[in-house]
A and B are shown apart, each in its own frame.
Chain A
Amino acid sequence: MTPEELEQISESEHEAQGKFAHRVNVCVAAGCLSCQSQSVKDALDKDITRRGWEGRCQTKGVGCMGLCAEGPLVSTDNGTMYKGVTAADAPEILDSVESSPIERLLCPTDVPFFQRQKKIVLENSGIIDAERIEDYIGSLGYGALIKVLTEMTPPEVIQEVVKSGLRGRGGAGYPTGLKWSTVAKAAGPAKFIICNADEGDPGAFMDRSVLESDPHRVLEGMLIAAYAVGASEGFIYVRAEYPLAIKRLRTAIRQAERMGLLGTSICGTRFSFRIDLRLGAGAFVCGEETALIASVEGKRGTPRPRPPYPAQEGLFGEPTLINNVETFANISPIIRNGGDWYAKIGTEKSKGTKVFALAGRVQNTGLVEVPMGVTLREIVFEIGGGIPEGRKFKAVQTGGPSGGCLPAELLDMPVDYESLARAGSIMGSGGMIVMDESSCMVDVAKYFMDFCMTESCGKCVPCRVGTYQMHRLLESITQLEGTPKDVALLTELCDLLKNTSLCGLGQSAPNPVISTMRSFADEYKAHVEERRCPAGVCGNHRNSEEPA
C-alpha cells in the first residue's frame, strides 16, 4: 500500500457512493440492533428492489448515531433523522427522500443533543459502514498511518502526541505522550501494544460503540503507537460480552491484513505489526494494567505491585504500552490535524473531547462527545434534556465503581480530570448515570460496594475482606437496621481500603461511599437514626410490584 494507492481507494469509494442519488443510513450498532434495526434495513433493501431503485438509492448499515434510547435510528442524505423506525416504515422513508420528511418519525437534529457535541472520536460513527475498510479509507482513514510511515520519525510521532496534551481515556488520565515515550525508551527484544477494550464500568458503553461503529480507527491508532514505540505485536483485550464488537474487529483486522496495512513490511517500509484479539472473561479487575497483562498471558487476572511498571516489564516480561479504546481512537485525528489543533480543544490541563455514556434518569440517553470543560449542567440538562417525568435531579454518578456521586451543588463544575478528582469522583472511562429523587444514595453506595466485593480478586486482605465488611454494613443500613456505629465503622474501612489496598480497585472502592457520605450525609443519618429511607427505596418500603 502506497499513499497513491490509498488515495485511489478513497477516490473510487467516493465515486461509487456518488453514483447514488440518495442514501439511507440505518444504525446497526448493538443498541439499535436490539430494537430490530436489521429488519428495518432489510425492509428498505427489499423496497428498493421492488421500486427498481438499486442504482438510485443506497442503504448503508452504519454505527451509532448517539441517541440510543430512541432506536432504531435512520438518517437520510438530506440530513433528516428518524427515530423508533420499524420495518413497516420502510416504503414511507423511501418516499420521503424525494419529498418532505415524515413528521411522525422525525427526530429533530437542531437540538442541543446534537448541536452541542463535538465529534472527534465519533466523527465516523453513524456515517460509515464499520464492516467496509474502503468506507473508512474514504473518510481519510489510514491517512495518518501513511503519513507517519512516510514523513515522520518515531520521536516526531511521540512529540505530536505530547503536544496534543492527550491523556489516557481509561480513567486515570495519565499523559499519553509520556507513556509512549517511556515505552519507546525502554529496552527489550520485543515490545507489545495492548488495547484495553474490556470496558468494565457498569453504565459505560463508549468503547463498545467505537468498536462497533469504527473499528479501523482503533487499529490505526494502535499501528501508529506501535511505530512510535517500536512494537511489533499487539493485542486487543475485548470483553467476551461484546460479540458484535468482536465480530467487527475480526473483520477489520482481516481487511487491514489483506490490504497490507497490518502484517510484515507495512506499506513497503521495514515496519511490521500484527494484532490479535484476546477475549476478556468477565473480571472488572482486569482493567488494572498488571491484572490485564496476567489475563492476556492466560492466567488469573490478579494485579501485582508496581514497580516494575508495564512500560518496563509488561506482557511476557517485555515493555508494554497499554491504552484504552478511546485513547487510540484519538490518535489518527491528532496526527492528521496536528497536536496543536487538538490542544486548542478543552481546558488547560484536560485537552480534547470526551465521550460520555449518558444514562439513567435523563431524557436523552445515549452517547455524547463533548469538549473537556463543559459543565455537568450542560451535559445533563441541555444535551441530556433534563430529568423526565418532571422529577427533581439528585446526583450524577461518574467513574463507575471507582468514582463518586456529584450532587446538584456541583452541577456548574467543569468536567475535566482535576475538577472531578477534587469533587471526590473521577473521570473514569466515561459512564455518566443521572439519578433523580427516586434513588436512595445509600442504596446506590451499596450497589457499588456489592460490585466491588464481587469483582475483588481476593489477593490482598484489605480489599478482599474490607469490601465484604463494607457491603455488609451497607446492607444492614439499607435494611434500616444499621446504627451510627456502623457508619463510623464504614468510615474507618473507607480510610483503610483507600490507603492499604494493592491496586486501584481496592483503593478506589470506597469512593462511592465517601462521596455519598459527604454530599448526602442526611440520608445516612435518616437511615441509622430515624430508621427511615427518604427516597422510599430501602427496608420494607421497597415496592417490588410494578404499578398496575
Chain B
Amino acid sequence: MATGALSDFAKPAPPNQDKRWRLVDATMRRLGQHPRGLIETLHTVQEAYGYLDEEALRYVATSLRVPLSRAYGVATFYHFFTLKPAGEHTCVVCMGTACYIKGAPQLLDTVKRDLGVKPGETTSDGKVSVLTARCLGSCGLAPAVVYDREVAGKVTPHGMREHLAQWKTP
C-alpha cells in the first residue's frame, strides 16, 4: 500500500560510479522496485560483478526495501550465489548421479591432490576456484566438468590434470 511514508522513500544512490550498477538498477526498475524482485536482482549483480559483496547486498536491500537480514538470508540460502570473488579460472565438477557413478569422486580427488583445495575453495594464488554442481544435465557425457563455462564430457583424471596444469603455468 502506498502510504505517505513509503512515497517519501528515496532510493539510495549506487555505492560508486561503476557503470555496472546501471544494469542492476535496470533490473530493479523492470521488477517495479518491489521486494519480490530480490532474487532476480541478485542474479544481475552476480552476473555483473561475479559475486555479491556486502556493499551490493546493502544497496539492493535498501533499494528494494528488503530488510538487510532477509537479503543476507536469501543470498546464503541459494547455492548459486557466492559472497566471495571467484578465482581467475573456475572448474566445476558435476556431481550428478550419472557423473558420480562414472567417476566424479575420482575427479574431485584429483583436484584435491593437484590444487590442494576442496570444492567451494579457491587456490591461494587466486588462480583456480573449484566448485561442484548438483547436475549439469549433461548426463550423456558423464562425467562432466565445466572449465571456465566450457562443458567438457567424459573427463578422465588424466585429462583433468592436464587441463589444470595449463591454468597453473603463468
Contact = CB atoms under 8 A, between A and B. Distances in A.
A71 B154 CA distance: 12
Interface in B14-61: 35-40, 42-43
A38 interface: no
B87 interface: no
A350 B60 CA distance: 47
Contacts of B77: 283, 300-302, 457
A192 to B, nearest CB: 12
Contacts of A295: 39
A281 B79 contact: yes
A546 B158 contact: yes
Interface in A249-287: 278-284
Interface string A14-35: 0000000000000000110111
Contacts of A298: 35-40, 66, 74
A278 B79 CA distance: 16
A20 B34 CA distance: 51
Given A34-B151, A360-B102, A400-B97, A366 B140 contact: yes
A175 interface: no
Interface in A406-447: 431, 433, 435, 438-439, 444, 447
A31 B79 contact: no
A13 B27 CA distance: 36
A30 B78 contact: no
A248 interface: no
B115 interface: no
A392 to B, nearest CB: 15
Contacts of B36: 296-298, 316
Interface stretch (A102-110, A133-141, A181-189, A198-206): A198-206
Given A279-B39, A281-B39, A283-B78, A204 B153 contact: no
B97 A433 contact: yes
Nearest to A300: B77
Contacts of A332: none
Count class of interface residues, chain B: 35 or more
A544 interface: yes
Nearest to B79: A282
Contacts of A68: 138-141
B140 A359 contact: yes
A208 B66 CA distance: 32
Contacts of A92: none
B68 interface: no
A241 interface: yes
Interface stretch (B1-9, B128-136, B162-170): B128-136
B59 to A, nearest CB: 16
A30 B105 contact: no
B124 interface: no
B137 interface: yes
Which among B40, B77, B141, B158 has the greatest number of chain A C-beta atoms within 10 A?
A: B77
Contacts of A542: 105
Contacts of B137: 30, 199, 204-205, 208-209, 241-242
B98 A359 contact: yes
9 contacts: A68-B138, A204-B135, A282-B78, A297-B36, A299-B38, A300-B77, A365-B140, A439-B101, A544-B157
Interface of B: 35-40, 42-43, 66, 70, 73-74, 77-81, 95-98, 100-102, 105-106, 109-110, 133-142, 144, 150-153, 156-158
Top 9 closest A-B pairs, CB basis? A68-B140, A281-B78, A203-B97, A205-B137, A34-B151, A359-B139, A359-B98, A282-B80, A298-B38
